């Protein structure tokens, strides 16, 4: 069974009601750059958490425009695509390495 209902981990930021998708995408890119250029692991992890929050805000914006069903469908399609690619088959996993 496909579990394609997006689950939000963060409270809704005000930008979910203020930003357009393109504006939020620019913010996502800026958070990625902050994570990429972080000088310490802790700073990088904080920026990655910010990136995660910014991505959730993007999906909230899209749900506000197209409806939650649109986002749910999109997540389901991606989950199915990744399932076909074997991304969720853990039988061949090793302790180290590999792609998440």
Which residue ranges make up each domain of the chain? 15-80
Give this prediction's pTM.
0.85
Check pLDDT > 60 for residue 89: yes
pLDDT of residue 93: 78
CA distance 58 to 19: 9
Check pLDDT > 60 for residue 2: no
Which pair of tokens denotes residue 62?
């899209």
CA distance 90 to 1: 17
Burial of 51 (0-12, 13-18, 19+ CB in 10 A): buried
């Amino acid at each position: 069974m496909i579990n394609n209902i997006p689950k939000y981990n963060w409270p809704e930021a005000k930008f979910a009601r203020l930003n357009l998708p393109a504006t939020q995408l620019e913010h996502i890119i800026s958070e990625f750059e902050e994570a990429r250029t972080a000088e310490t692991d802790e700073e990088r992890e904080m920026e990655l958490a910010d990136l995660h929050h910014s991505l959730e805000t993007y999906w909230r914006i899209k749900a506000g425009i197209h409806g939650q069903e649109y986002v749910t469908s999109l997540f389901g399609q991606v989950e199915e695509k990744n399932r076909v690619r074997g991304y969720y088959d853990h039988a061949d996993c090793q302790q180290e390495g590999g792609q998440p």
